[in-house]
Every structure is written in C-alpha cells, then in structure tokens.
Amino acid sequence: MITATRKLEFDSGHRVMRHESKCRNVHGHRYVAEITVSAPELDECDRVVDFSEIKRLVGTWIDDNWDHGFISHSEDRYGKMLASAGELKVFFMPDDYGEPTAENMARYLAEKCDELLTKPLTVEAVRLYETPNCWADWNRR
C-alpha cells in the first residue's frame, strides 16, 4: 500500500477540565496534524492524491473550526463563557468525545477527514502533535 501524508498546522487554546495538574488551566498550543491517506490505485498523475486537496478540504475545516479559537469540552464553563461573548471562536467537542485532549482531537479529526476526503481515498492515520514532544495517533487498523 502506498500512502500520502499532508501536514497542517494551527494554533488553538483549550483546557482539560479534569486534568490533575496545570493543563486544567486555559492555555494554547501550536498543533500539527499529519493526515495520511491511501487509495486503491494511483491517479492519472501517479499519486495517491494531490496534497493540495487535503489542504483545501481538511485545512479549510481546521481554519474554520479550530484555528485561532478555543476548543472546549461541551460542559466547560470557560468555553461557555467565551462563546457567550459572541465575538470569539469556540468549538465544543461533541459529548461522546469528552475532553479536548490530543487523543480525542485526533480521533475527531480522523472522523471529520473521513467525511471530507471521499472515495477513492481512505484515511489511514491521523497524528496530532500537541507539542513537538507530545502527540496522539489514530490509526484505522
């Protein structure tokens, strides 16, 4: 199997409400997402996908929803307070995803990529770096 991976970077704030240490405070990260896709065969240009398509589809979704915003648990009072201000971008993780941890964000982004990147592409993996030294992986298999 041949895969293609596109790296996308964005800045967001978040907090992990139930964190036992300092990450329960509001803070931000320079996230890096690596989206890996496969296809049953190469296209007419001998590639899995034009990398710009991943950027156009997934990058636009990230820009619209997560970049330069606050990613919040659906019950987080700080997220609700920011959203009520009306001028700030707040993304509430769906209830079944829980806290906006790198693990839950990677899983959510993978499922969003499945919606955005249609056949013949298959999303194989999403790696989400929260810091240069810390990341979470979602893998299809």
Residues annotated as catalytic (active site), given as ranges: 23, 68, 130
Q: How far apart are CA 43 and CA 52, in angstroms?
A: 14
In residues, how long is the chain?
141
Q: Where are the beta strands (DSSP E) in the chain?
A: 3-14, 27-38, 69-72, 90-92, 122-131, 134-139
**99 residue type, one letter:** E
The pair of three-digit structure tokens given for residue 80, joined into one six-digit string: 């609700």
Beta bridge partners of 92: 72
Query: Rounded to 10 degrees, what is the CA torsion of 12, 13, 14, 15?
Result: 150
Give the strand pairing for 69-72 and 90-92.
parallel
